[in-house]
Amino acid sequence: MAEKDDAGRLIADNRKALHDYHILETFEAGVVLLGTEVKAIREGRVNLRDSYARLENGQVWLLNVHISPYSHTGYAHHEERRQRKLLLHKAEIRKLTGRVAEKGLTLTPLRMYFKNGRVKVAIGLAKGKQLHDKRETIRRREIDRETRAAVKSRNR
């Protein structure tokens, strides 16, 4: 029954990445984890802020993801910010290798979630926003919020 409870359940998201980058394309990847890491993730002890992915020797690695220690651990501990391998198809890795070689593109994890009882990470191929782009995004968000509030008050 636990797998059905976890189906599509969001663990953590990286709102900072959506603020700092234009996301061009997203990929779903599995993650190689230790047992204590999975248990800590089930407790929601994950932080994706300042994390990124890197391509090395035909493999994709997830770096700087903070997974806090499991609360009921005994002797088995894991390093909180260790490198974790991402599991992608070879064709996807080749595609990412070609695209990341372009100027200014990077890989950032967008969200971590459960899918069929397994931990998945959505990584985005991203291009950095400039300051005026960030201001425009904030301005657009505020206009949308004000519009929704006006429509809501008019319908009452």
Average pLDDT over residues 128-155: 87
pTM: 0.75
Average pLDDT over residues 19-41: 86
The answer as to whether 87 is a domain residue is yes
- H or E stretch at 47: strand 46-47
Q: Using CA atoms, how far apart are residues 30 and 84, in angstroms rounded to an integer? A: 10
Structurally, how many domains does the chain consist of? 1
Q: Long-range pairs for 94-102 at CB < 8 Å and ≥24 separation?
A: 96/27, 96/55, 96/60, 96/125, 97/55, 97/58, 99/25, 99/125, 100/55, 100/125
Residue 5 has pLDDT above 60, yes or no: no
Q: Using CA atoms, how far apart are residues 63 and 52, in angstroms rounded to an integer? A: 6
| pLDDT tens column, 68-122 | 887 777 666 777 778 889 999 999 998 888 888 877 788 999 999 989 888 899 9
* CATH number, domain containing residue 63: 2.40.280.10
pLDDT of residue 61: 92
> Domain limits at 69?
2-129
Higher pLDDT, 73 or 134: 134
The answer as to whether 120 is a domain residue is yes
The answer as to whether 145 is a domain residue is no
**Contact (CB, 8 A) for 123 and 53:** yes
The answer as to whether 148 is a domain residue is no
The answer as to whether 138 is a domain residue is no
* Widest pairwise Cα distance in the chain: 60
**Contact (CB, 8 A) for 40 and 68:** yes
pLDDT of residue 74: 67
**Contact (CB, 8 A) for 40 and 49:** no
